[in-house]
Amino acid sequence: MQKNWFQSWFNSPYYHLLYRSRNNTEAEFFIDNLCAFLKPPLNAKIIDIACGKGRHAIYLNKKGFDVIGTDLSYASIRFAKNFENNTLQFFVQDMRNLFYINYFDFAFNLFTSFGYFDKDADHINALKSFRKSLNKNGLLVLDYLNAEKIAQHLIPEEVKQIEDITFYIKRNIADGKIIKNINFTAQQKNYAFTEQVKDFRLADFKRLFNAAGLEISHTFGDYNLNPFVATQSDRLIFICKKTGC
């Protein structure tokens, strides 16, 4: 069976090379601001969904929280497991089928780790899985790109030289998706990968959250937690609570 783009690309060492500028300072800054706003109690139970190599989860754990990180990438989870302890664990899981029910105080889905699927039903199932993992008063934090600003300032082509590899990147928006095609040569072999996330706007998320039994309580536009402005904000960040509890 053919793998989805995210299964192949996120397991590639070249993915981590291309995005190596995503540093811990940025992650810790965002987490500090979220914690100042949310005020989670010490020993709060938090799940980091699509955690990658665990930079957010590891820092949350250092702040005193009981954290579980999940991701579909075996390579990322294998790396993250080096940091496990009694209150920090990592597992390979599909976000549409999390293993927890009514357990977490907070569910984090950060840095556009959503919008990967072709069908809205899969996105709704993922959100339902997030919801199911939360306890009665639990909150979901979902951090997405601001598709409206990206559409206005799209860079169609870009070349990045990282170490001895030249990445040729092309971007476009088509069929309701923001698409990035990445081509390069490494170790005398040609590679081609594609990233694509749904062109979800605020109205789309309202519809998806409603279908999944979630309600938006706050919306922010950047990691400083400034208000969201569709034409200006870099991010689209939601804090949601469960409905029908």
Q: What is the CATH number of the domain that holds 115?
A: 3.40.50.150
- Are 122 and 235 found together in one domain? yes
- Are 71 and 169 found together in one domain? no
- Are 119 and 223 found together in one domain? yes
Confidence of residue 16 (pLDDT cuts 50, 70, 90): confident
8 Å CB contact between 105 and 138: yes
- Are 138 and 235 found together in one domain? yes
- Are 100 and 184 found together in one domain? no
8 Å CB contact between 92 and 70: yes
- Are 51 and 76 found together in one domain? yes
Model pLDDT for residues 172-216, shown as the tens digit of each residue: 999 999 999 999 999 999 999 999 999 999 999 999 999 999 999
Buried b (16+ CB within 10 A) or exposed e, 139-163: bbbbbbbbbbbbeeeeeeeeeeeee
- Are 164 and 87 found together in one domain? no
Q: What mean pLDDT comes out for the span 214-221?
A: 98
Confidence of residue 3 (pLDDT cuts 50, 70, 90): low
Model pLDDT for residues 74-90, shown as the tens digit of each residue: 989 999 999 999 999 99
- Are 21 and 79 found together in one domain? yes
Confidence of residue 1 (pLDDT cuts 50, 70, 90): very low
At residue 146, φ and ψ (nearest 5 deg) are -95, 95
Indicate if the pLDDT at residue 245 is higher than 80.
no
Model pLDDT for residues 33-51, shown as the tens digit of each residue: 999 999 999 899 999 999 9
Domain that holds residue 231: 5-145+200-242
Query: Which of 196, 212, 234 is the last residue before a domain boundary?
Result: 196
- Are 75 and 117 found together in one domain? yes
Model pLDDT for residues 120-142, shown as the tens digit of each residue: 999 999 999 999 999 999 999 99
Between 202-212 and 120-133, two packed helices, what is the crossing angle to 10 degrees?
Answer: 60
- Are 39 and 104 found together in one domain? yes
- Are 134 and 88 found together in one domain? yes
